[in-house]
Homo-oligomer: A and B are copies of this chain.
């Protein structure tokens, strides 16, 4: 069962509410003997953490991670190594602003999980969204930082590729740009445009959706497990489990529907040690198994539901009401989803690497040509 856990051999479990004392993650199944540095995890958390530009929530959280178990000092280097036992990571909440939450206690924000949690459980920690808050994603990012250690040869990067109706120009795609603008955007020109666009929305008390593309290079052929453990199926679940995600695509994605067979199937030519694909419509996955090309996943994040514009809603005693959600919210929650998407990609790949190794005894594919 996987209510609050994800993965099989590399498996993590998250816990914590937005305004509780802390949140955290337990990573189980990590291989022993890996060098692990608290700073590496912190660096990933810092990329996700709120308050880094005017385009993300102004909540101030240090998101300082503590490693509580599963590591031990390497007597030669003095650094830490994983021991193969569960790695517990914890982040104490510090900026749970004390204020009156009575409005969202009794009045459901349209588009939010307020209503569904209430109907499912009959009780919820409504402060700041409780368990449905995007704060939960800090735990994923921490898990993802550990996952990266398991598959060091895989390079995982992501970019915001669409904000509202505005897409990046693929010809201007440059990974180096991602860290140079507040949108994790690989197209510097698009980032500049978005700045103006999002400022406008933010001032109007509105929000907007976005698309994130995550690319993993260096994944060998052979990872993935047909038929219900397809690499693509696990990636789809991983991305769809992120707050506010409504669509997931692999390679050509929904656009594959528009293609003919001659357009879609990536042709192959003999290569040095393996075939070369002449295109990557497949997004690096065929039949649920990696083919050696970059694994490409995109996902759409809906606009933040908590906005300053009044919306029609209902109270918990079934009366009509209007709601305006004040407080500190992201005008485009998709921005912070960039490191989160990377983290989920890392976790899925680390899990499939271990699963593949377990079943086959190999890290990658059988030799080629056979």
Contact = CB atoms under 8 A, between A and B. Distances in A.
Number of this chain's copies in the assembly equals 4
Interface in A196-255: 201, 206-211, 221-230, 232-241, 243, 245-255
A314 interface: yes
B222 A241 contact: no
A87 to B, nearest CB: 8
Nearest to A16: B69
Contacts of A16: 68-69, 86, 88
A265 interface: yes
A29, A124, A268, A370 interface centre (most CB from chain B within 10 Å): A268
A26 interface: yes
A115 B358 contact: no
A152 to B, nearest CB: 13
A246 B254 contact: yes
A286 B109 CA distance: 11
Interface string A42-63: 0000000000000000000000
A167 B274 CA distance: 39
A86, A235, A291 interface centre (most CB from chain B within 10 Å): A86
Given A118-B370, A121-B33, A253 B247 contact: yes
A184 interface: no
B254 A249 contact: yes
A103 B11 CA distance: 34
A359 B29 contact: yes
Contact of A121 (B83, B165, B302): B83
Given A33-B122, A86-B4, A123-B33, A28 B9 contact: no
Nearest to A334: B257
Interface string A125-144: 10000111000100000000
A184 B201 CA distance: 41
Given A21-B68, A246-B250, A260 B221 contact: no
A73 to B, nearest CB: 9
A20 interface: yes
28 contacts: A1-B1, A3-B225, A4-B86, A6-B228, A15-B86, A16-B69, A17-B70, A22-B68, A84-B120, A85-B130, A85-B131, A108-B268, A113-B288, A115-B275, A115-B291, A119-B366, A119-B368, A120-B360, A131-B227, A163-B257, A211-B257, A233-B236, A233-B240, A234-B237, A246-B251, A247-B255, A253-B254, A263-B303
Given A258-B165, A270-B318, A320-B270, A250 B249 contact: no
B125 A83 contact: yes
A193 B28 CA distance: 44
B28 A211 contact: no
A275 B119 CA distance: 11
Interface in A1-39: 1-6, 8-9, 11, 13-17, 20-24, 26, 28-33
B259 A303 contact: yes
A316 B369 contact: yes
A2, A15, A70 interface centre (most CB from chain B within 10 Å): A15
B23 A69 contact: yes
Given A247-B254, A270-B319, A355 B356 contact: no
A164 interface: yes
Given A125-B83, A288-B241, A221 B261 contact: no
A170 interface: no
